[in-house]
Amino acid sequence: MAIGIVGGVLLAVMRLSKNPVTSSIAWFYIWFFRGTPVLVQLIVWFNLGLVFEYINLGPFYKDEWSDFMTPFLTALLGLGLNEAAYMAEICRAGLLSVDEGQTEASHALGMSHAKTLRRIVIPQAMRVIVPPTGNEVINMLKTTSLVSVVQYPELLRAAQDIGQTSGAPAEMLFLAAAWYLLLTSVFSVGQYYLERYYARGSSRSLPATPFQKIKANVLSLSNRSSTTGGTA
């Protein structure tokens, strides 16, 4: 997911560039990786050894492709590069949501384009970027189950292996589903507080968190009980 976020920001900036070559490269990348299923991409990465027997990077690295492209590296590249294409469109929408007057004002103050992005545009765009990015994080968590096809021992594959050896495959699949639900719930809570953090500049008063609501209800109940007791 970190590869996807960093790559998405770079691709979004390239896509919005006035340079036609840079913009075309970003467009082609997004078109290709969004247009092909991630499962197919994982299988292609894993089986490139059938096409390229050796990998030769000159004096830096030389090895057989089968030894270089391990299941972990296949999963990392397959999921990360695919996610970068989706994050690019999310980041592009966030950058476009910031008024152009902000950029013009920062340039008038003598700020460079990179500093304008870092200090002015991206912080304001985060309000638009964070909600869909949270959904992508949860989706990425569930998509990791696909890397079992390239023999990487992730959660689903581990559950299947234990289920086969223990004679309880259905129970282990239910357990794997419970783990996915637990982790997605944790990420959902993190997404909520992150959205609340970046919403500080857009609203005068932030909505109360679940903990604050519970605390307020407990205090109101205690106040009512003390008032009732004093009246009696």
Tens of pLDDT along the chain (232 residues) come to 999 999 998 999 899 888 999 999 999 999 999 999 999 999 988 888 777 777 777 777 777 777 778 889 899 999 999 999 999 999 999 888 888 888 888 888 888 878 888 888 888 888 888 889 988 999 999 999 999 888 888 898 889 889 988 888 899 999 999 999 999 999 888 888 888 777 765 555 656 666 666 766 667 766 666 666 555 5
User: Based on the domain organization, do 105 and 187 belong to the same domain?
Assistant: no
CATH code of the domain covering residue 114? 1.10.3720.10
User: Based on the domain organization, do 9 and 121 belong to the same domain?
Assistant: yes
CA–CA separation, 232 and 230 (whole Å)? 5
User: Based on the domain organization, do 128 and 162 belong to the same domain?
Assistant: no
Give the number of domains in the chain.
2
| pLDDT for res 212 | 64
User: Based on the domain organization, do 74 and 184 belong to the same domain?
Assistant: no
Q: Could you say which of 74, 97, 132 is where a domain stops?
A: 132
User: Based on the domain organization, do 87 and 184 belong to the same domain?
Assistant: no
Q: Could you say which of 132, 167, 196 is where a domain stops?
A: 132
Beta strands in the chain (DSSP E): 54-56, 62-64
Domain coverage including residue 8:
1-132
CA distances from 105 to 100, 108, 110 (A): 9, 5, 9
Could you tell me if residue 144 is inside a domain? no
* Contacts (Cβ under 8 Å, ≥6 apart) of 72: 152
Could you tell me if residue 227 is inside a domain? no
User: Based on the domain organization, do 158 and 194 belong to the same domain?
Assistant: yes
Taking residue 97's Cβ as centre, other Cβ atoms within 10 Å add up to 13
User: Based on the domain organization, do 57 and 164 belong to the same domain?
Assistant: no
User: Based on the domain organization, do 54 and 161 belong to the same domain?
Assistant: no
Residue 209 — left, alpha, or beta (φ > 0 → left; ψ -120 to 50 → alpha)?
Answer: beta
| pLDDT for res 179 | 93
Residues 54/63, Cβ–Cβ less than 8 Å: yes
| pLDDT for res 123 | 80
User: Based on the domain organization, do 19 and 126 belong to the same domain?
Assistant: yes
Taking residue 72's Cβ as centre, other Cβ atoms within 10 Å add up to 13
User: Based on the domain organization, do 41 and 103 belong to the same domain?
Assistant: yes
CA–CA separation, 68 and 169 (whole Å)? 33
| pLDDT for res 102 | 80
| pLDDT for res 202 | 58
| pLDDT for res 211 | 65
CA–CA separation, 128 and 174 (whole Å)? 35
